[in-house]
Structure 1
Amino acid sequence: MAELMTPTAVSVGRQTPFKEIVRLLDEFDITAVCVVDEENRPLGVVSEADLVRRHAAGSGTDTAGALMSSPAVVAHPDWSVVRAARVMDRAEVKRLPVTGTDGRVVGVLSRSDLVRLFLRRDRAIQEEIVEDVMTRTLGLHPSDISVEVEDGRVTLSGTVRRPGLVPVLLRLCNSVDGVVGVVDRLRRDDRTSSTGK
């Protein structure tokens, strides 16, 4: 996920005034800013919705500390895209500050970053599944399983001689960047060899 995030997050301090936050949102064409402490650790987030809500209440003079939703919902660089998307959905936010192992903000991940992921070419998705998932990770032979990708939808067909690997294969394929769904047309062949192995 680290390669998808914007490495420099627009952030503000607790005392940043309402109008300065509005200016930053407009200047950088973003929907929220992270509020950080003196050591660049996230305290919360001020979104457009927070600003509109406060303005509707008749106040435009508040600081970021008073406006922010807290605590900040954050992501980590080693998260999968799926995990980040689920956290965004569950928290109903459009942007996640990304924090390093020391808790400091190292970037930001937005919904638009995730959407760009699905523009990945079908051929690149197919190559990753065949070379990384099937061959290197699971030790499956590419001639046994056909991988077709169209508009991010993966169709797997052929015979799997170790049926226990099928759920793992499907899960790993679903986690490949750019995959929008996996169609399982695999045949399970659980016959053992004459040696019983």
Structure 2
Amino acid sequence: MRHRSVAELMTPTVVTVQRATPFKEIARLLKEFDITAVPVVDGAGRPLGVVSEADLLRRRSGNGATTAEQLMTSPAITACPEWSVVRAARVMQRHQVKRLPVIGVDGRVIGVLSRSDLIQLFLRHDHAIQVEILEDVLSRTLGISPSAITVDVDDGLVTLSGTVPRPELLPIVVRLCQSVDGVVDVDNRLTVAESA
């Protein structure tokens, strides 16, 4: 069982700006590329901060900033390509940001992961979720026969019914199912086998 990585979901083409990029050029880039923010990078392509639509709107309200360096939110909150999307989502939530520049081993920006990229996970087909739970979670990871548990998936809601061989497996099965990409919630109707 494996979570998808940031590298699998990020947008690999990145629009960046330099410290001295003027306000109007940043606004033009956001509109032209239909994006909501741009990383500000140094001469080597390493992130210094991010300028978002909100930063531009703050400037309009009279803070006098005219360049990317003056407008940006700094330091840039970044992600690594090998991170799981779960880790990236937690970082976004903790720092209350909508996107993360993705940094390669050399420290340069190689992509951007946005909240809209993460939403793709919840568009995963129910059948793919069901197969992963039956084959990866139950069979391979826990050694539970898929015939012992019925897994129904409807719009990402997983309903588990049937029996587990030992009581301590109940919370483990639920937790592992909740961690499968695309699962919105788990309705646990499992019981413990009488012979347990």
TM (norm. structure 1) is 0.88
Of 18, 25, 31 in structure 2, the residue corresponding to residue 13 of structure 1 is 18
Which 4+ stretches in 1 moved above 3 angstroms? 189-192
Question: Is residue 170 from structure 1 mapped to residue 195 from structure 2 by the alignment?
Answer: no
Label 1:80 to 1:114 Cα distance change in 2 as closer, same or farther (>3 A). Answer: same
Per-residue CA deviations over 1:85-130 (Å, capped at 9, x if unaligned) read: 2222222221111123333222111111122221111111111111
The answer for the alignment partner of 1:31 in structure 2 is: 36
> Which residue of the partner structure matches residue 186 of structure 1?
190
**Partner residue, 2:85:** 81
Of 139, 150, 154, which aligns to 2:154? 150
Q: CA deviation at 1:72?
A: 0.9
Residue deviations 1:127-166, cap 9 Å, x none? 1111122222222210111111000011111111133333
Distance 1:40 1:166, change over 3 A: farther
Question: Hey, what's the Cα distance between the residues in 2 that align with 1:49 and 1:181?
Answer: 33
Q: Normalized per residue, which structure has more helix?
A: 2
Equivalents in 2 of 1:22, 1:89: separation in Å? Answer: 26
> In the alignment, what sits opposite 1:56?
61
Paired residue secondary structure (2:189): strand
Note the C-alpha offset of 1:172: 2.0
Percent identity (aligned) = 67
Structure 1 segments unaligned to the other structure (5+ residues): 193-197
Q: Does 1:44 align with 2:49?
A: yes
Distance 1:14 1:190 in 2: 67
Shift of 1:55: 1.8
What RMSD in Å do the two structures reach over aligned CA positions?
A: 1.8
Aligned residue-pair number = 191
